[in-house]
């Protein structure tokens, strides 16, 4: 029986992506090979509990929700994550995967919405970007850049051009929480007429840095 090390399963409003504000069940898996300087889920690097997939699905079902997000840590660091994603899709959920982009996404079920980070210089983990992943993104997927400063923003524009990212899927620019003024990032986007969506972390504005929200 397949199992995963799980940090938490909780019900909240989606704080990011195009389903922002919608009630969502979050399955947070344990472990991550990255150490981004702005990480707000370092508690998921270690610990957690081993849970069989059937038990995870039963827990998700309790919330009677349509949307499920598998997150971390880095969910793809555990091989059985791929099985969980497919089984959630089989159950009729609208499933999204939040991934750092540091591990291959080629085997992710195509029904899953991949929300893939591209790590900016400000993350201090740019060297972990697995650029080949861009080939496997589908129109319903989303690419996220967390912007820490103006240098990150200019770097992001360059990467968008280099890989023609707006032609692939939706691009999300997110101001790093309490590191950059969201209004300033919004002004840059409008000035440059970037074909992106600005997103703020809704859950941070509702509940602050409370884990499991």
Question: How does pLDDT run across 108-149, given as a tens digit for each residue?
Answer: 999 999 999 999 999 999 999 999 999 999 999 999 999 999
The residue with tokens 């949307």 is 67
Q: What is d(CA 172, CA 145) in angstroms, rounded to the nearest whole number? A: 6
The average pLDDT across 29-53 equals 92
Percent of the chain with pLDDT over 90: 85
Q: What's the distance, Cα to Cα, between the start and end of the chain in Å?
A: 30
Q: Where are the domains of the chain?
A: 3-207
Please determine, for residue 53, whether its predicted confidence score (pLDDT) is greater than 70: yes
For the entire predicted model, the pTM comes to 0.94
> Which are the contacts of 67, defined by CB distance < 8 A and separation ≥ 6?
14, 19, 22, 23, 24, 25, 93, 94, 95, 96
Architecture of domain 3-207: Alpha-Beta Barrel (3.20)
């Amino acid at each position: 029986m397949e199992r995963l090390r799980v940090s938490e399963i909780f019900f909240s409003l989606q704080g990011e992506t195009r389903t922002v504000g919608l009630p969502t069940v979050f399955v947070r898996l344990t472990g991550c090979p990255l150490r981004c300087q702005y990480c707000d889920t370092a508690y998921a690097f270690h610990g957690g509990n081993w849970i069989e997939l059937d038990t995870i699905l039963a827990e998700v079902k309790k919330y009677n929700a349509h949307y499920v997000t598998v997150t971390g840590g880095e969910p793809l660091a555990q091989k059985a994550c791929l099985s969980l994603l497919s089984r959630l899709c089989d159950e009729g959920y609208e499933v999204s995967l939040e991934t750092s982009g540091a591990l291959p996404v080629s085997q992710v079920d195509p029904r899953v919405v991949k929300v893939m980070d591209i790590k900016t210089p400000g993350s201090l983990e740019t060297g972990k970007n697995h650029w080949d992943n861009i080939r496997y993104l589908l129109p319903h997927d989303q690419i996220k850049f967390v912007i820490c400063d103006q240098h990150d923003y200019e770097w992001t524009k360059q990467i968008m051009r280099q890989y023609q990212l707006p032609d692939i899927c939706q691009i999300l620019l997110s101001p790093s929480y309490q590191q950059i003024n969201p209004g300033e990032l919004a002004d840059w986007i409008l000035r440059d007429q970037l074909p992106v969506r600005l997103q703020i972390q809704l859950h941070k504005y509702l509940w602050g840095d409370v884990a499991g929200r």
